[in-house]
Structure 1
Amino acid sequence: MSSDAPSSETESYETLERPRAVRAAESGLAKLPLAGPLDRLGTLRALDTAVSPLQNAVQKLPLGGLRDVLHGRWLGHPLHPALVQLPIGAWMSAGVLDMLPGTRRASRVLIGTGILASIPAALSGSVDWAELHKPQLRTGLVHGAANTVALGLYAASLAARARGREYRGRVLGFAGLTVAGAGAMVGGHLAYRQAVGPNKAEPVQHLVGKGWHPVGKADSFPVGQASNATLGEVALLVYREPSGETRVLADRCSHQSGPLSQGTVADGCVTCPWHGSTFRLVDGWNVGGPATAPQPCFESRVREGFLEVRLPDAAPDED
């Protein structure tokens, strides 16, 4: 018998344990109690009758420069996740105090604080929500609806407590906390499963090798017109200035991966055709939201008739 023949223990693993693991993996979402239903929220076309008018209403709000503040452009990432900490924390703390004696006044203060803090949190979330893709809009609508119900329950709880109906107020408070928790779960699915909020251009620095890379003949890119090229797995926006300078940015918008090469170039900036984020061509800086992160910007040069680019963050120490 060969010395490397499988033992009975190994055979048992191969014939029993591994197929069992494979079957579990193949079943995928069907084995998970919540992932499947949460995924299906994004496919509910019936929600579109509410999504479209609400989206239009939010986009038409006369917010001016406040819109970018609410997006979190000044912060470098969405503001909404930071703002929701206060109402959630206040309401959870009120729930804990409601289970202790002699804490009626403190609970009321916390509930009122949560109600007030929910206003800017909801406004920031709304302006972010209005600039998403359709499946994300549907899931976001459910998230917002749950939070609205939770807010109503807490308002009713505070009103009941003010009238001396403490027990009713506590019941309404715990109901509000339950609904807010469900809304937060949907929000987590929206943020992480459907990738709302993360910088879509962040992987570029990990996909581009160090040094200079040719992307095509320099004269193949028209002057004064946005065009595209590829560098491995990374799509590029190439813009040749009439002055002779060539500007190169990562093509996929940091907001929702829109193709910047199909956008509008004006005043030294390119505007994404999907949601209107605006980036400076010279350095990729996001001068207008909803994008909260800048675009990766490549250095460029022409060698022997070929346009070469490199990403400064990935460049070697030598020239």
Structure 2
Amino acid sequence: MIQRELVDRLSELPWLDQVADTVSGLTNPILDSVTGLKDLLHGRWLGHALHPVVTDLPIGFWISSLLLDLVGAGKSAGLLSAAGSVSALGAVATGLADWTPTYGSERRLGMLHALLNTAGLTCQVVSLSARLRGRRLRAIAFSATGLSISSAAAYLGGELVMNNGVMVNHTAWESGPEDWTAVGASSDWAEGQTKPLEAGGRALLVSRFGGQFQAISATCSHAGGPLGQGEVKGGVVTCPWHGSQFRVDDGEVVRAPATFCQPRLQARVSEGQVQVRA
């Protein structure tokens, strides 16, 4: 497909790496310095990524503004145009947070997505300025141009999510084992110990707390990282790829960028053997 070839070529533009390095160098210290900011922007409290939710606001406002302009409701169009520009700031902040853990072609494509959205927002601000000075036709022209640019950026955003799997649940398609499967003798676990292992072709973390056994998926829900290689401390495992943290007893997210919990499996002890099943 033509659009597929175009996206592939755009995602390999080398100058995007240079821009990305500059942007991350400026923004990462801010995101890292404010406690809880990443959790807020990633949407850990929401249970999934916040960015797609927030992006509906500016696009909806700007489309409505343009339609009102076309029917002559200039004042109402101006109000919605301003609301769209203000709400776009939230989309910028959440999108930036989701972009920071990416790398390679995803990082470059995300940077292009951000640049196009910045251009679209700039056009909307110019449109609003023209509107305030009574230049209606100029305002409509920049509004339409900005919306067109933002639509192209939205297409790239769809590529990042649907094709590259950015900020989707990477454990959504995991399944099994369907039957109780032995993973080791109960005596192999000390109290409070977590062990990475495999059952039915599925990577797991099996822990023992208070004499009870718990099992969660060892594939990080954020980007598919190997939790079995992560550090376990205080009942919390840290993904070695992007630093997401989960409780090993129930899979709950402790720290972003992950927003989805780790799937939990059933675990029991039968005849001295620890057994698990989905």
TM-score normalised according to structure 1 size:
0.80
Of 157-166 and 220-229, the range deviating more from structure 2: 220-229
Q: Distance in 2 between matches of 1:173 and 1:52?
A: 31
1:59 aligns with one of 11, 28, 37: 28
**Which residue in the other structure is 1:277 paired with?**
244
Structure 2: tracts of 5 or more residues without a match: none
Q: CA RMSD in A?
A: 2.1
What does the per-residue CA deviation read over 1:121-158, in whole Å, with 9 as the maximum and x for residues that have no partner?
A: 11011111112233211111011100000010111111
TM-superposed CA distance for 1:293, in Å, is: 0.8
**Which residue in the other structure is 2:121 paired with?**
151
Where do residues 238-249 of structure 1 align in structure 2 (5 Å cutoff)?
238-240=206-208, 244-249=211-216
TM-superposed CA distance for 1:310, in Å, is: 2.1
**Which residue in the other structure is 2:225 paired with?**
258
Preserved CA contact (<8 Å) 2:246 2:254: yes
Q: Which amino acid aligns with 2:48?
A: H
Distance 1:304 1:53, change over 3 A: farther
TM-superposed CA distance for 1:183, in Å, is: 0.5
SS of equivalent to 1:309? strand
Preserved CA contact (<8 Å) 2:177 2:199: no
What does the per-residue CA deviation read over 1:170-209, in whole Å, with 9 as the maximum and x for residues that have no partner?
A: 11111101101101111111111111121111222xx214
Higher RCO by CA contacts (8 Å cutoff, separation 6 or greater): 2
Q: Distance in 1 between matches of 2:199 and 2:14?
A: 38
SS of equivalent to 1:196? coil
TM-superposed CA distance for 1:111, in Å, is: 0.7
SS of equivalent to 1:295? coil
Q: Distance in 2 between matches of 1:154 and 1:186?
A: 20
Preserved CA contact (<8 Å) 2:246 2:253: yes
TM-score normalised according to structure 2 size:
0.91
Does structure 1 residue 230 correspond to structure 2 residue 201?
no
Q: Distance in 2 between matches of 1:109 and 1:129?
A: 30
**Which residue in the other structure is 1:213 paired with?**
181
Does structure 1 residue 115 correspond to structure 2 residue 85?
yes
Pairs aligned (count): 276
Preserved CA contact (<8 Å) 1:217 1:305: yes
SS of equivalent to 1:279? strand
Does structure 1 residue 96 correspond to structure 2 residue 67?
yes
Q: Distance in 2 between matches of 1:129 and 1:77?
A: 15
Distance 1:109 1:133, change over 3 A: same
Does structure 1 residue 74 correspond to structure 2 residue 45?
yes
Preserved CA contact (<8 Å) 2:191 2:208: yes
User: Of the two, which has the highest radius of gyration?
Assistant: 1
Does structure 1 residue 299 correspond to structure 2 residue 270?
no
SS of equivalent to 1:261? helix
SS of equivalent to 2:23? helix
Preserved CA contact (<8 Å) 1:253 1:260: yes
**Which residue in the other structure is 1:141 paired with?**
111
Preserved CA contact (<8 Å) 1:129 1:137: yes
SS of equivalent to 1:98? helix
Where do residues 118-197 of structure 1 align in structure 2 (5 Å cutoff)?
118-197=88-167
Preserved CA contact (<8 Å) 2:126 2:142: yes
Of 127-136 and 189-198, the range deviating more from structure 2: 127-136
Distance 1:302 1:133, change over 3 A: farther
**Which residue in the other structure is 1:24 paired with?**
none
